[in-house]
Structure 1
Amino acid sequence: MGEQGCMKCGSTEAGTKDVSMTGSGLSKMLDVQNNKFTVVYCKNCGYSEFYNTQASKGSNIFDLFFG
């Protein structure tokens, strides 16, 4: 098992924020539920990754972020 931490700076301090994004055209009206994401960000350097909220429910999102 390798080192765990931010892939940019190695820090293990991270936070999360839930966000919604809109697509364009019809997807703006039809796809609202599919455009919810959780952002995991490094509190040290600010590097962040987006995870689809539905896809990440079964996993520990910090495990995904830190590898």
Structure 2
Amino acid sequence: MLNDNRKLFLANRDLGGYQYPVSAIPFSCNDWQQPFRPFWAYLISAKRRYDPDNLLTPGQRIFEA
């Protein structure tokens, strides 16, 4: 079921759609970057400045390389 959900998410994204980030579909760092690409460098900078110890959102995989 998760694989089917992932396929539907990717098809939706390729058509320009978005997915609510808290769902049954695990997001990768790349998945997070897609909708935020114009602001990604700013988000990385803010994350390093305000959360240098990586305490916030540890399970969301937003800033993993």
Q: Which has the larger radius of gyration?
A: 1
TM above 0.5, yes or no, is no
Which structure carries more strand by proportion? 1
Which structure carries more helix by proportion? 2
